[in-house]
Amino acid sequence: MYKQLYEMLLKSAEADKTKALLSLDLLSNKAAGIGDHSTDDYYKNAEQALQMLVDADDRIKTLNKYFNEGS
């Protein structure tokens, strides 16, 4: 895979992972994460953040497994 494409895809996945971890931290540890949302919104937001984390981890693992020539 073209190195710049690999790096772009990897950085995108890493950014999504960071966003997901931040969202989960806000939802679980900070009042700002809850705000004026209903509990249903709160649960949906937590599920979405978890799914983003899983997806990002999968993307990172796949890129490293198949396209990281240093491995």
Give 49-68 pLDDT, tens digit per residue: 999 999 999 999 999 999 98
- Reported as a pLDDT band with limits 50, 70 and 90, residue 19 is very high
User: What number of other Cβ atoms are within 10 A of residue 54's Cβ?
Assistant: 12
- Tell me the whole-structure pTM to 2 decimals: 0.83
